Amino acid sequence: MRVRLSRCASGLLAACTGFAALAICCLADPVAAQEIAFEEEQIKAAFLYHFATFVQWPEASPSDGAFVIAVLGADRVASELEEFLPGRRIRGRPMEVRRLRSIDQLEDEAVVFVGADAGSGLPELVYKVEGRPMLVVTETPGALKDGSMINFQLVDRRVRFEISRTAAERAGLELSSRLLSAAMFVDTTSAVPALPGVIYASVAPSPLLR
């Protein structure tokens, strides 16, 4: 599905092409102009890359090896990341994408994106990574209350995102003011997500995400 992305200020698009331009533009002005359309998965992949660059990671977080973005239940987003990430680095570490087929495959990745096709296992995942400096990103309505840190929303055919600053801080992650200002909503409540063991109703993905 093709959705809208706003133009960057200062002519950034004129100097860049393809996914690289999209990644640069994602946080510059996420709602204003209407002229440029990209695939929804391209925009989400670009945001995931940018999210990682706008997080202050704890000094105690792993510093050796690759900086890995794990993707569960969103194969097309994973494909976009596989095309874009090779050759890019964060904190001197090469970036990689890892496809997951289940929560049990999660290891010490820096970012995990839980797509709509992953089902209703978010509370279990949040419980599994509790205390780790791992950024949890989702695309399911109401996911912030289940412990997501950043949740994508489609608003007027634009990809926007909401943030739980509390959930990020609980994991030892500090989100930049630029990232917070680009969000459509920032939750600063101290609510703690429910633990596994409770039966959760499945939430069907929005038709716009299919």
User: Looking at the predicted structure, is the pLDDT value of residue 18 above 60?
Assistant: no
Is residue 31 assigned to a domain? no
CA neighbor of 57 nearest in space, from 7, 111, 99: 111
Is residue 130 assigned to a domain? yes
Q: Which domain holds residue 64?
A: 40-198
When pLDDT is cut at 50, 70 and 90, the band that residue 120 belongs to is confident
* CB distance 97 to 69 below 8 Å: yes
Is the pTM above the cut of 0.85?
no
Per-residue pLDDT, 105: 94
Per-residue pLDDT, 125: 92
When pLDDT is cut at 50, 70 and 90, the band that residue 175 belongs to is very high
CATH of the domain at 51: 3.40.50.2300
Is residue 30 assigned to a domain? no
Is residue 166 assigned to a domain? yes
Residue 64 exposed, middle or buried by CB count within 10 Å (0-12, 13-18, 19+): exposed
pLDDT digits (tens, 9 = 90+) for 140-156: 999 999 999 999 999 98
3 or 88, greater pLDDT: 88
Q: Sign of the C-alpha dihedral, residues 154, 159, 164, 167?
A: positive
Average pLDDT, the chain: 79
The contacts of residue 151 (CB under 8 Å, 6+ apart) are 137, 138, 139, 140, 143, 144, 161, 162, 163, 164
187-190-191-195 Cα dihedral, nearest 10 degrees? 120
Per-residue pLDDT, 60: 53
The contacts of residue 80 (CB under 8 Å, 6+ apart) are 19, 39, 41, 42, 44, 45, 46
Lowest mean pLDDT among 23-32, 45-54, 90-99, 120-129: 23-32
Lowest mean pLDDT among 13-22, 24-33, 141-150: 13-22
Phi, then psi, of 124 in degrees rounded to 5: -65, -40
DSSP run (H or E) holding 3: strand 2-5
Is residue 124 assigned to a domain? yes
* CB distance 20 to 45 below 8 Å: no
User: Looking at the predicted structure, is the pLDDT value of residue 20 above 80?
Assistant: no
Is residue 13 assigned to a domain? no
Number of structural domains in the chain: 1
User: Please, which residues bridge with residue 90 across strands?
Assistant: 93
User: Looking at the predicted structure, is the pLDDT value of residue 173 above 90?
Assistant: yes
194-53-103-145 Cα dihedral, nearest 10 degrees? 20
Is residue 207 assigned to a domain? no
User: Looking at the predicted structure, is the pLDDT value of residue 11 above 50?
Assistant: no
Per-residue pLDDT, 34: 33
Is residue 89 assigned to a domain? yes
Q: What is the DSSP string of 191-202?
A: --PPPBTBPPPP
pLDDT digits (tens, 9 = 90+) for 76-113: 999 999 998 999 998 889 999 999 999 999 999 999 99
